[in-house]
Structure 1
Amino acid sequence: MLKQELEVLLAPEVAFDELARYEAILQQAGLQPGEADFVHLKRRSIDARGRQAMVRLRADVYQSAPPADLFGPWFVYPNVKTATRSTIIVGAGPAGLFAALRCIELGIKPIVLERGLDVRARRRDLAAINKDQVVNPDSNYCFGEGGAGTYSDGKLYTRATKRGDVGRVLRRLVQHGATPDILVDAHPHIGTNKLPAVVQDLRDAIIAAGGEVRFDTRVTDLILEKDRLRGVVTATGEALEADATILATGHSARDIYDLLHRRGVLIEAKPFALGVRVEHPQALIDQAQYRRAERGLLPAASYSLVHQTEVRGEQRGVFSFCMCPGGFIVPAATAPGEVVVNGMSPSRRDSRFANSGIVAAVELSDLDVKQYGPMAGLHFQQEIEQRACHIAGGTQHAPAQLLGDFLKDKQSNTLLETSYQPGLVSVRMDDVLGPVLAERLRQGFRDFGRKIPGYATNAAQIVGVESRTSAPVRIPRDKDTLQHPVVAGLFPCGEGAGYAGGIVSAAMDGERCAEAVAALVGR
């Protein structure tokens, strides 16, 4: 097998044309058409550092047949309907779904309990919060099959490469319907419009293999026997027992944190981040990043920004989070009386708007841990969300301010057109965030304005609040067994437990927890 490993830099019109790209790669390899048996595209990224944005590709050129396992093995799920070992998995987000599939591979029957509705039925509740401003506490942008990422973007980029096999997660997604482009792109993205079908296929695979998936099933109590978790009790009073329980409830399941705390299960306050969404015209970001008015074949431009701030002698980072090029701002509240915003992008990323969370780090020293203990971060987060709702009028209208006016601490007389469907209300964002958080964000925005021309002006507006960046609570676990250090049989998992930060890292953590369960209970 003769193979050349190449890296080429191509103009977009060449890189995104299959035939032109093939010929350019062969030319780089010193070959003529027909002299290569196969070209395997391994990586694609945008390089916008020069005067003209280019596309950087990595590829393997084979002059003989490529290996049979070039794309990795597909996954085979045995039937576990009559398996002697079972695991309860609380939550059907990426951590829960991937834990269930890995359990099946290991011969363990998963019983997945999801408080919300299936991925298709969730849509009517999303329509209700967008159009009628009605929040269903069990079915919304955070709760329901697929978790928070399903209808809030579907980005698959992660830096958590040491926590598991990223390629394995992406291959599983492709097997269940995701575009193969996610195996190549440097910042893979499925898109909110396409991810629901992938999620449904993951669930269908679990059921076909003998696992169970139950919707509209909220856990309200634990079956504790001394220092061992035997199972859970649902809202209907049904008691379910299993050999182990994987708790993968996501970062917004406040009632689960409260349940653990009331039942004496050790949990801890942890740092998180909180701020706003900033919304720009996508054309402004394209011009700044690509230095051309028309991006042509290039994807909607994104950015990643960070700045170290100092307020009252305390240093804290301010950074962009979940940047959504060509996207929309959506209402992500999980209870009436609060306003929370998030961002999402469809697969084409063709909205006229770009938005990103701009958030400041919140450390334990910023919280009233003495009064609220492990629930201190949750209380801080909830207080700001409720204040945002109150100041904006008590509905899902979101508080907003032109960015240039925010930097001057001046309430905006008018606001810009927005992608946020429920609507905006002009406020002083200082009244929502408080003086310290507001000043941190100002320092960050001023720095970002120096890095991206036109960024920190009244061409943009900020929308509050971006508060669900990660869980404000950690459920501790042993680093080797992944079990809770006090309660045997309990496996804290994913974002809600404090061990992941996105779809891919949550999926990897779900697989790790399934493997830890198998090590405990056997097959």
Structure 2
Amino acid sequence: MKKELQLALSPEEAYNEALFNKIVAEKSGLSPHQDLIIRATKRSIDARGRKVKINVTVEVYSGQTPEPLISRGKDYPNVSNSDPIVIVGAGPAGLFAALRAIELGKKPIVLERGKDVRSRRRDLAALNKEHIVNPDSNYCFGEGGAGTYSDGKLYTRSKKRGDLRRIMEILVAHGAKEDILVEAHPHIGTNKLPLLITQLRESILEAGGEVLFNTKVTEFILENDSIKGVVTSEGEKIFGLGVILATGHSARDIFHLLHRQKVLIEAKPFALGVRIEHEQKLIDSIQYHCQSDRGPYLPASSYSLVQQTVLDGKQRGVFSFCMCPGGFIVPSASSPGEVVVNGMSPSRRDGKFANSGMVVAVELEDLGRYGQYGPLASLVFQQEVEQAAWEAGGRSQVAPAQRVVDFVKNRQSQDLPSTSYQPGLKSVNLNDFLPDYISKRLAMALPMMDKKMKGYYTNEAQIVGVESRTSSPVRIPRSKESFEHLQISRLYPCGEGAGYAGGIVSAAMDGERCAEKLIEKYGR
């Protein structure tokens, strides 16, 4: 016998396992003397009222064994002698494209410019401690891509892109906790992601695929408007049935290469701004309506804010981006001579600080003189702002920062609060180097956001510059139906770098779809 219940519980009732099982057994109406199997299938936090509630969907089984939560394992066919597909980039899009290609009987050859996830850590340490930027191994480049060292958020609105449940089950099969199948806003955490990424790679290798690290693509082999393969920095030519281009949103050299080889690309709107940092206790007190500690059962709270602004007759959104509860700010430059910040969280989200991007929508019409750069207009604009942040911070990975109210009042901060940003901060008036319409819109929006989260606008919080890698500044156009490039056959632009995804899960789904489309057309 199976019963499904919809419950609204207190945090303790929902997260104290013994108490949860007792309450569910009572509400099920089934005899407590029976051997009951109790399993939560959906769980979300409702903090709209004065008392936080946890909405839980739960299944109760009596006298029968439930079906397993996941229906797939890590069994893949051997494709070592099959036709190859070239996949450029080992981020979520590239790795999931490779696994899907294996399922469909083709051999993936994954080319990654950076290092494997374990070796990559040494370069991240050098970046944080010595301010040395390795242009091929950093928070953006290397096995797992930018998603490896992030909060590991798995929430997406892009459910039409593919099978969301399937992606989650593959992650669980490779080491993620089954909780990601239950929570409304699941995440994995930066401390857990490297092992999971390693397991995904092992599945590719065990099935006969290839993953080549320190392998940078420097040329595309094009013949009669068709791509035959790629050339690496070592001069090696690698051919395949087609090429899935999954290089991520920071691979500027690839965008330049495409433009140089006259492959159609186009400038794309994106968003740019700063990262804002509060103490997590403040965000908890606002979101959970608590005076002090949130207690042992509630997770670190998050938020999502949007505020429309009007400047010179143009309306643009200012919004939070990649909010990291209990996390820390990290240096995400991918080349020397620039400062870029991003956020990440461990699985427990137990850090002292909360941080989030606070960014302004940038439309192509806002770029003015950058229009002379054609399809690279947004990219050049983005790069110049990052270089200005580097100059303002003192020409190292020290980041320019300012207390929030001081920024809005256009005055330099006399001192700065403590921070999670390891390379350090320098007190700077960010209005001096941020593009005028970016700083003005931020200054408009931040006080107004206090109406939605009372206490958010405070001089005890600070902003750190710059948050600029929100999405790709370039789109590589492709057919809506076939996913194939509009000009070059057998080329499949994929994921965040091509402008078709916005996170780990949406990139993974896009990778799968690209592999399916390529093999459907050319793999027979």
Question: Aligning the two structures, in what range does the TM-score lie when normalised by the shorter sequence?
Answer: over 0.9
2:255 aligns to what? Answer: 257
Moved more, 57-66 or 439-448: 57-66
Once the 2 structures are TM-superposed, how far is the Cα of residue 507 of structure 1 from its aligned partner? 0.3
Once the 2 structures are TM-superposed, how far is the Cα of residue 319 of structure 1 from its aligned partner? 0.6
Note if contact 2:241-2:523 (Cα within 8 Å) is conserved in structure 1: no
1:367 partnered with 2:367:
yes
Instruction: State the distance in 2 between where 1:473 and 1:36 align.
Output: 57
Note if contact 1:76-1:105 (Cα within 8 Å) is conserved in structure 2: no
Q: Deviations over 1:105-135 (max 9, x none)?
A: 0000000000000000000000011000000
For 1:300, the aligned partner's letter is A
Q: How does 1:115-514 map to 2 (within 5 A)?
A: 115-292=113-290, 293-296=292-295, 297-368=297-368, 370-514=371-515
1:58 partnered with 2:51:
no
SS at match of 1:121: helix
Instruction: State the distance in 2 between where 1:170 and 1:432 align.
Output: 42
Instruction: State the distance in 1 between where 2:35 and 2:452 align.
Output: 44
SS at match of 1:300: coil
1:79 partnered with 2:60:
no
Q: Deviations over 1:132-155 (max 9, x none)?
A: 000000000000000001112211
SS at match of 1:284: helix
Once the 2 structures are TM-superposed, how far is the Cα of residue 36 of structure 1 from its aligned partner? 6.4
1:29 partnered with 2:28:
yes
Q: Deviations over 1:325-383 (max 9, x none)?
A: 00000000000100000000001111100000000100111124630111000011001
Q: Deviations over 1:180-232 (max 9, x none)?
A: 11111111111001100000000011000000000000000010001000000
TM-score normalized by structure 1? Answer: 0.98
For 2:337, the aligned partner's letter is G
Once the 2 structures are TM-superposed, how far is the Cα of residue 61 of structure 1 from its aligned partner? 2.3
Q: Deviations over 1:73-119 (max 9, x none)?
A: 33531000011x11000000000000000000000000000000000
Instruction: State the distance in 1 between where 2:17 and 2:92 align.
Output: 33
For 1:56, the aligned partner's letter is N
For 2:141, the aligned partner's letter is F
Which runs of 5 or more residues in structure 2 are unaligned?
Answer: none
RMSD: 1.2
Number of equivalenced pairs: 521
Note if contact 2:318-2:445 (Cα within 8 Å) is conserved in structure 1: yes
Q: How has the CA–CA distance of structure 1 residues 477 and 34 changed in structure 2, closer, same or farther, with 3 Å as cutoff?
A: farther
Instruction: State the distance in 1 between where 2:151 and 2:114 align.
Output: 19
Report percent identity of matched pairs.
61
Instruction: State the distance in 1 between where 2:68 and 2:402 align.
Output: 53
Instruction: State the distance in 2 between where 1:76 and 1:511 align.
Output: 17
For 2:490, the aligned partner's letter is G
Q: Deviations over 1:3-54 (max 9, x none)?
A: 3322111111121122211221222222232446432311111111122212
Instruction: State the distance in 1 between where 2:326 and 2:31 align.
Output: 39
For 1:262, the aligned partner's letter is R
SS at match of 1:123: helix
Q: Deviations over 1:435-490 (max 9, x none)?
A: 21111111221121121122111110000000000001000111111110110010
Instruction: State the distance in 2 between where 1:199 and 1:454 align.
Output: 39
Instruction: State the distance in 1 between where 2:421 and 2:371 align.
Output: 38
Instruction: State the distance in 1 between where 2:65 and 2:159 align.
Output: 26
Instruction: State the distance in 1 between where 2:103 and 2:216 align.
Output: 26
